[in-house]
Chains A and B, each alone.
Chain A
Amino acid sequence: MRHSHSHSGSPSGLRALSLAAAVGATAAAAAPTARAEPHDEVSLGGAARALRSPSANAITGADLAGISLGLARELGHDLGVDHSSWPVPSLALWAEAGLVATSATGAMFKSLSTEIDQLGVTGGVAVRYRVHRLVTAGARFAVGAQRARLAITDHTTTAYDHAWGAMASAGAAIDVFAVSLPRFGLGVRAEAGYVAAQGIALTPHTDRSDDTVALTMASAAIGHLDLSGPSVALSVLGQF
């Protein structure tokens, strides 16, 4: 039972994001590349995440869907080793930062409308391997934080809450380039992965719209919302 409406964040998630960024920066300094290929990347696309946890199933039978935005920088190629002696040549290490905003709607008990809004911010590293001149396979791992907002509407009244929690994601991707020039590349990326998320404690409450002094409110917590689940994404990427 919570007696005020303070919303706690997740310092651990933000710490993990900072750590990932620091690791990426260090790697970039240690293994600069000298090849005439794009070193920076921007991606924009759609993302979806299946909600499979019992808590998410309680809220909705739908899955999260929304947009994703990514930034990446190449840290080094073949880890600075002569690729002729490397068993897997053309391997590149990238530092990534991502933003994913998704939502899902649903119903409980045939009478309550529900909505989950999720905003995830991550940082991590990716290993990419050029299978073909126009095709790249990759794997990535990222950590970060996500903000989850839950709204439950009963006819005319909406109770809602939001809070932050840590998350980690891993995935495998295939990049297919339509344009692959020495200084520019344009293609699409298909990715499948999994998001492991911390259960986020939520206490839905209603807001008063008028200016009356409200009575002391004791809102009961609804529990921890776990947004973990397999994810897919399809995005357009540009490298330069």
Chain B
Amino acid sequence: MPTSRSFATAVAVAVAVPGALAAAGCWSDDRPIQWSRPRDVIGPIALKAHVAYIDPALDRVVLLDVTADRPVISRTAIGRRAMYAVPSEDRHRLFVITRGEQAIHAGEIDQPPMFWVVDAQHPGAAASYAIGSPFDRIAVSPDGGLAIAYYSAGNDPDGAFRNPNELAVIDLASPPSATNPALLTIRSFGSVPEGISLSPPMVVPGSPDAAPRTFAFILSPGNLTVLDASHPARHEVSIRLDTGGAHVSPREVVFAPGAASAYVRSDGARDVLQVALEAQPPSPTDLADNDFRAVVAELGAGGGPSDVAVYDEAGGRRVVLAATPDTHEVVAIDADTAQFRSIAIPDPVNRILVFPAGGTPHQAVFATIGGKRLWVVELDHLGDPLAQVVPSAVSLDKPVHDVVAVPGRDLALIVHDDARTVLGVLDLATTATAPLLGAGKLDSYDFSPAGDYLIGATTGVARLGFVALDNLHPTELRLDDPPVHVLATANGKIFVDHGGALGHATIVPSPTAARGDAVVVSGFLTADLLDEEP
């Protein structure tokens, strides 16, 4: 049957040839670009009840809720190329700067630099603010109401021009708008900011505006800039620190609780600088004029302070403690009257800690990094001119490498060497020190939220060490894998990060938990990765 056979042959060819061509044409497709991006995960970052990781390849924040026995994983999408992240002071929110990108290759998008607010309690969606420039540092006010994005001192290899004195002031309580964030460039005298401190809410005494507001203290070599961050459209106030000829670089700002004043310690300065904000009617012809003025006073530390601390006494008197290693003294300055009292300490003190931190302190510890003595001073009678103040010396066997206050406790952790293998705990009640010998280098450590345990880990050693700070009883918990980072969340859980691109961590319910209570969680950085559309 030649006709039927020819017909069938023609049909077969007609089907096979286009089919083969179609198969060749749709054989392969382009792989989405995010799978080929480099991925340098930022984190872990401890939040209140979560631990956060920022994935700059997949443009998301991975949150592990460690409240329950088993962690709950959630994700929040953010913008391209995350660069920097900090938590809020209450650790409920995470602030992330993404650099954005320009669409150069297939699959890339045009996206400007953005500032993201990730609420750990409401994962899944993040608020974003276009900040205009690829800032890489964030300062957040203690009340979490304001943030300022600014540049670090580094270069920007992807940019053309960079204005290091530019800032983005973000009102976190308001949605994004044409005026939020406010982009501004502070007045410069040739230097660039090296740090920004945001004040707690302050009410300017005597001002008709009784609303608490946040002030930004911008630290630049030779210059201190004060900005009313709650009203960023107003002028900034520049305070030149180098008019005397000496090179002065502000290093540290401490704010007096509940007052519109700040104390600034500077390298190269003889005294602690007090910046008090006082009401002053704005110019009626200048809508951007401030309603305050910055009154600057030198509090007579008299010797180039190396560290400062501010506290309020129970009676309300505000005291600035300044260490002046050049004069071998510690100076207690009455912030209201500028009267000061010198306490002779033979060592060149460069570290001050007050205890208990966060309340009305009763004792202060003065340390010299590299020295073998600590000095303890009772603060309760410091204001009494008739009371004799006698520092108590605490001798140590080894030099001090670092001193850290244990949160909420009258204890200080003393680190004696670079490798952090020899530690000591100073009990301020007895001024006694107890040595702690580590089996290895203390690469990562944290304190439990109540300050009752020191938790430490050594990279490469699959073990977690605990020290009960009440009685210095050490315990340890064997891990399955070596730790890289250990941190304590504010809800009391201990999170041990083991590193790795897939996500690998051990969660210990408490410092007293048994090994069997710990849970290893893995794969959280790739959870549900295959089910997500690119």
A residues at B contact (CB < 8 Å): 1, 3, 50, 52, 54-55, 57-59, 61, 63, 83-84, 87-90, 107-112, 129, 131, 137, 152, 154, 157, 159, 172, 174, 192-193, 199, 202-206, 208, 212, 214-226, 230, 232
Contact = CB atoms under 8 A, between A and B. Distances in A.
B174 interface: no
A168 B462 CA distance: 47
B8 A129 contact: yes
A154 B501 contact: yes
B71 A212 contact: no
Most interface-central of A83, A172, A220, A226 (chain B CB within 10 A): A220
Given A58-B35, A88-B4, A215-B506, A222 B500 contact: no
Contacts of B529: 58, 222-223
A57 B73 contact: no
A83 B519 CA distance: 71
Most interface-central of A109, A159, A172 (chain B CB within 10 A): A109
A69 B498 CA distance: 44
Nearest to A200: B530
A203 B503 CA distance: 13
Contacts of A226: 530
Interface stretch (B26-34, B115-123, B126-134, B340-348): B26-34
B9 A225 contact: no
Nearest to B3: A87
A83 B5 CA distance: 11
B19 interface: yes
A61 B31 contact: yes
A216 B520 contact: yes
Contact of A220 (B9, B501, B522, B532): B522
A141 B534 CA distance: 32
Contacts of B504: 157
A50 B23 CA distance: 10
B501 A112 contact: yes
B70 interface: yes
B480 interface: yes
Interface residues of B, number: 53
A59 B500 contact: no
A82 to B, nearest CB: 11
B31 A222 contact: no
A129 B70 CA distance: 60
13 contacts: A55-B530, A55-B531, A57-B29, A61-B35, A88-B4, A88-B8, A89-B4, A109-B35, A137-B12, A199-B530, A215-B516, A220-B523, A222-B528
Nearest to B27: A50
Most interface-central of B32, B36, B516, B531 (chain A CB within 10 A): B531
Contact of A223 (B70, B518, B531): B531
A108 B35 contact: yes
Interface in B489-534: 500-504, 506, 515-516, 518-524, 526-534
Given A52-B29, A108-B35, A222 B530 contact: yes
Nearest to B499: A154
Contacts of A204: 502, 523, 526
Interface string B100-120: 000000000000000000000
Most interface-central of B29, B32, B504 (chain A CB within 10 A): B29
B473 interface: no
A7 to B, nearest CB: 15
B15 interface: yes
Given A57-B31, A159-B502, A214-B520, A232 B12 contact: no
Contacts of A63: 28
